[in-house]
Chains A and B, each alone.
Chain A
Amino acid sequence: MNESVQSMLEFARGPLFRFAFALMVLGLVRLVALTLYGAVRTYLQAGDKRLLWPVIWQRTLWVLFPFSRVHRTRPVYTAVSIVFHIGLIVTPIFLFAHVHLLGQATGITWFVVPPLAADVLTIVTIIAAVALFSARISSPLSRELSRAQDYLWPWLLIVPFASGFLGAHPSWCPISYQIMMLVHVLSADLIFMMIPFSKIGHCVLIPFSQLVSDLGWRFPATAGKDVAKALGKESVPI
């Protein structure tokens, strides 16, 4: 039993991890490349190429660093959401165990957060995810908006956090360390593979949103006439 779990774990954090991670990176690169290609294509055809750069920059910075705007609308929800995002990004990237593994494999290491801070971040992230899910399911407005993936993602993201936390604290772990690690790595692999094909693609696309929205209003000079032609309405009275 132990051996088969061990071999599955080796597979999950070996070939499967490499595949999942590569799929995520390539998938995200594809998203960015497609967006940039579309943006350049739109720009080149635009009748007016003078973009509203100050507005684009300011709003992009607002979205990426929303701290100054927390108090504005739905402050509690916004604060929880910000904490959730910080936890999601900081915890896995700056966790000692992860950096250590990366160092062993590639020789590259970087700054790590202290173990206690990592524990706190993990728990806070899990609580924030549950809170966001509760907010979504308890509000009629959010229920009307939500798709299956909107309900699924918070739980999916909780799994590697919870299993990682329990794995790091074996005395609290109800099942064997190896099985817990298997759950941890498999869930992370699954998440990596799903990121580029789901709404989590926003992690790399958001910086381009304001640019895209401005370009969305930059039509080619002949757009109107071309549409009329395509629909056979050139000489049709209004």
Chain B
Amino acid sequence: MKPLVDSEILVKAKQNLRPETVRKDQRLDVRYHIEHPLTKDRPRRFLHAFAAILRNNPSYGLALEHYIRVQVKCGRCSVECMLYQATHDPRDVPCYRSSLLLDIYRRYFTLGGRVWGELTGRHDLTDEKLQELAGAVWDCTACRKCSLECPSGIDHGLVTHLSRYILSEIDIAPRALVVSTREQLEGKTGNTSAFPWPAVNDGLEFLEEEMLEEKGVRIQFPLDVEGARFVFFPAVSDFMMEAETLMGNAAVMAATGESWTIGTKYHDGINYGLFYSDRMWDRIVGKVDAETRRLHGKEIMIGECGHASRSAKSGIPMFCGGKQSLPVTNCMEYAYEAWRTGKLRLLHGSIKERVTYHDPCNIARTKWITEQPRELLKHICEDYVEMTPNREENICCGGGGGTVSIDELRAYRTGVSGKAKAEQIRATGAKLCVAPCANCKKQLKELMEDQNVDCEIVGLHDLLYKAIDYSQLEKSQSIQADGVEREPQCLAGVSEAAAK
């Protein structure tokens, strides 16, 4: 089998896109900017951070110890890795990538490795090895597809996650992610995109007017409502860039009459900590938890975003109180439950174009959310098709693991790591691809553009917004408002569709 990507394109995509001066300053030949080029003593600082992490988190020690014992180096993972499929470079095999860290672990943190290492002087950690690791773990999107096929059960995504964490502690982390996280945790705006609240607020008011105009019903974004069932945290980019998704979210909540709110103090679901640092992961979910508790919300609802959902779903109970922590729901789970129980009425077959569904890795790989959006789509779409493979075996969009936020990587993401996805979508012939994830959406939009695939990338709620039976909403809102049932006043177009 040939690699998916020609060697010429590969060389071009792998070229360093930064000015030479920056690279000299970093003393690190990777394809992304880092911020603090402290070049001195990197290997020693790396080992110091590695030791501190192992000491304070037994999970990593358990996993690494197990992996060095069971790793049989069979190479089966290569078949699952979209990166290897694109390049056929042995260094892109997940097992090889994981070995970069596992070898360091074996050399410095196991008795045999230490003795052997001291005796032979081989396998010592060098700047070159760190550079290879730093490049490899940011080429990988940590999609964890390889873990499905590994007969030894190695979760290469976990090894990538840990590698990035240790590297970040010696200031080797993509500038794009660090700057966003700094703004989210320490900046004035308190969100990764640095949107000031007045701008977000204006945007929401505009969307409310838009919905009134389009659907003839008043749908609101309730702000700072205390005691609501759900406090809503979308990926903050949705507020400005994915208006349709956000309107869909509001419409679903309004149509089902459920109490929900958006906190004015904190409203960003994005959590780059999942991508590069457990310390940041912890602090960010702490803010989500604090805002929900400030508003006396009963549940945390995360918008259409794979990593935001996973980082909250596993991070909130992990870092914020275990069994006593607040429940976390993804908005698609809610929409599906509401539709299944009859609370949400959707017009059957109201989307005419051919639609396909892309599973975001972070919500599909463990089968958390795979069927819910499909059931909704099968109901509202006239021509729904699957891409293969799908569900927990989906192919990553090529921009996972935070790499989509690193602009320097664009040529690589759309030319190499996203190549398999582009062909997969092209093969469906779909005009609309539903990708319920802010990261996947950005990557897939760039991918469709760069790979010339004629397919529009949308969110699930973009389509729900179009498919909701607004007559029901008008009714429930009227009852809510004054207790008197009124005739629904909906737009002619919607009534016609309903009649069909």
CB neighbours of B318 from chain A (8 A): 46-48, 218-219, 221
State the CA gap A139–B283 with chains docked (Å).
Answer: 45
Task: Answer yes or no: B152 CB below 8 A from chain A CBs.
Answer: yes
Decide if A146 touches B73 in the complex (CB within 8 Å): yes
Checking B49, B61, B366 against A55 with a beta-carbon cut-off of 8 angstroms, the contacting residue is B366
Please state if A141 and B158 are interface contacts (CB–CB under 8 Å).
no
B59 touches A42 (CB 8 A): yes
In the complex, A225 has a CB within 8 A of chain B: yes
Q: Which residues on A sit within 8 Å (CB–CB) of B280?
A: 224, 238
Quick one: given A208-B66, A209-B70, A224-B278, are A219 and B59 in contact (CB under 8 Å)?
Answer: yes
Segment touching B, from A11-19, A98-106, A197-205: A197-205
Q: Which residues of A contact B69 (CB under 8 A)?
A: 31, 199, 201-202, 205
Contact A202 B70 (CB under 8 A): yes
Chain A facing B: main interface SS? helix
Residues B58 and A45 in contact, CB atoms below 8 Å apart:
yes
Q: How large is the interface on A (under 10, 10 to 19, 20 to 34, 35 or more residues)?
A: 35 or more
The yes or no answer to B451 lying at the interface (CB within 8 A) is no
For the complex, is A22 an interface residue (Cβ under 8 Å from B)?
no
Known: A35-B66, A47-B318. A74 touches B153 (CB 8 A): no
Question: A78 to B70, alpha carbons, bound, how many Å?
Answer: 18
Task: Determine if B153 and A212 form an interchain contact, defined as CB atoms under 8 angstroms apart.
Answer: yes
Q: Whose C-beta in chain A lies nearest to the C-beta of B153? A: A209
Is A169 among interface residues, defined by CB-CB distance under 8 A?
no
* Interchain CB contact under 8 A, B181 and A42: no
Distance in angstroms between the alpha carbons of A74 and B77 in the assembled complex: 10
Contact with B along A35-67 (1 / 0, CB 8 A): 100110110011111101011000110010010
Q: Which residues of A contact B278 (CB under 8 A)?
A: 219, 223-224, 227
Shortest CB distance A20–B (Å): 20
Interface residues of A in 190-228 (CB under 8 A from B): 199, 201-202, 205-206, 208-210, 212-213, 215-228
Among B56, B152, B278, B320, max chain A CB count under 10 A is at B56
Chain B hits for A150, CB < 8 A:
72-73
Other-chain contact of B72, A48, A50, A202 (Cβ < 8 Å) = A202
Task: Collect the chain B residues with CB atoms within 8 Å of residue A147's CB.
Answer: 73
Q: Which of B6-14, B87-95, B249-257, B291-299 contacts A (4 or more CB under 8 A)?
A: B87-95
Q: A35-B62, A41-B58 are in contact. List 8 more A-B contacts (CB 8 A).
A: A63-B152, A73-B149, A81-B74, A205-B66, A206-B152, A213-B153, A222-B56, A230-B56
B contact set with A: CB distance below 8 Å: 48-49, 52-53, 55-63, 65-66, 69-76, 78-80, 88, 90-91, 93, 95-96, 99, 147-149, 151-155, 158, 169, 178, 181-182, 185-186, 278-283, 314, 317-323, 325, 366-367
- A sample of 15 inter-chain contacts (CB < 8 A) reads A45-B58, A48-B314, A59-B153, A72-B149, A73-B80, A78-B76, A144-B91, A199-B69, A206-B152, A216-B63, A217-B59, A218-B318, A219-B318, A224-B319, A227-B278
